[in-house]
Structure 1
Amino acid sequence: MATKVMRADSPQRAELEAQGWSVAARSFGARLDADRVDESRLRRLRRLRRLVEQVAVSVSVRSLDGRDVDAVLALDAATADDYPGSVATRHALLDREGATPTPARRGFGAFGPDGELVAMTFVDVETDGDGSAAETDFTVVHRAWRRRGLAVAVKAASVLALSAEGVTRFRTGGSADNAGIIRANTVLGYVRDEEWITLERAAD
Structure 2
Amino acid sequence: MGKIVVLPLDDPRRAVLEAEGWSIAARSFGAQLDAPRVDRQRLQQLVAEVERSDSLRELTVADVNAVLSLDAATFDDYPGSVATRHERLGRLRATPSVFRRAYGVFLPAGELVAMTFVDVEGVTAETDFTVVRRDQRGRRLGFAVKACSVLALLSYGVTRFRTGGSADNAAILRANDAMGYIRDEEWVTLEQDAR
Q: Same fold (TM over 0.5)?
A: yes
User: 1:28 offset after TM fit, Å?
Assistant: 0.5
2:49 equivalent in structure 1: 51
Residues of 1 paired with 2:46 and 2:167: CA distance?
24
> In structure 1, what residue type is equivalent to 2:25?
A
1:85 equivalent in structure 2: 80
Residues of 1 paired with 2:50 and 2:83: CA distance?
30
> In structure 2, what residue type is equivalent to 1:180?
A
1:101 equivalent in structure 2: 96
Runs of 4+ residues over 2 Å off in structure 1: none
Residues of 1 paired with 2:168 and 2:42: CA distance?
27
Residues of 1 paired with 2:148 and 2:154: CA distance?
10
1:18 equivalent in structure 2: 19
User: 1:20 offset after TM fit, Å?
Assistant: 1.2
1:71 equivalent in structure 2: 66
Residues of 1 paired with 2:22 and 2:193: CA distance?
8
Note the alpha carbon deviations across 1:110-146, whole angstroms, 9 max, x for none.
Answer: 000101000000000112xxxx100000000000100
Residues of 2 paired with 1:149 and 1:17: CA distance?
38
Report the TM-score when normalising by structure 1: 0.93
Unaligned runs of 5+ in 1: none
Residues of 2 paired with 1:76 and 1:51: CA distance?
24
> In structure 1, what residue type is equivalent to 2:173?
I
Note the alpha carbon deviations across 1:31-71, whole angstroms, 9 max, x for none.
Answer: 0001222xxx21122122222233xxx21111011000000
User: 1:75 offset after TM fit, Å?
Assistant: 0.1
**SS state of the match for residue 103, structure 1?**
coil
Match of 2:142 among 151, 164, 183: 151
**SS state of the match for residue 138, structure 2?**
coil
User: 1:196 offset after TM fit, Å?
Assistant: 0.4
Identity of aligned residues (%): 64
**SS state of the match for residue 45, structure 1?**
helix
**SS state of the match for residue 161, structure 2?**
strand
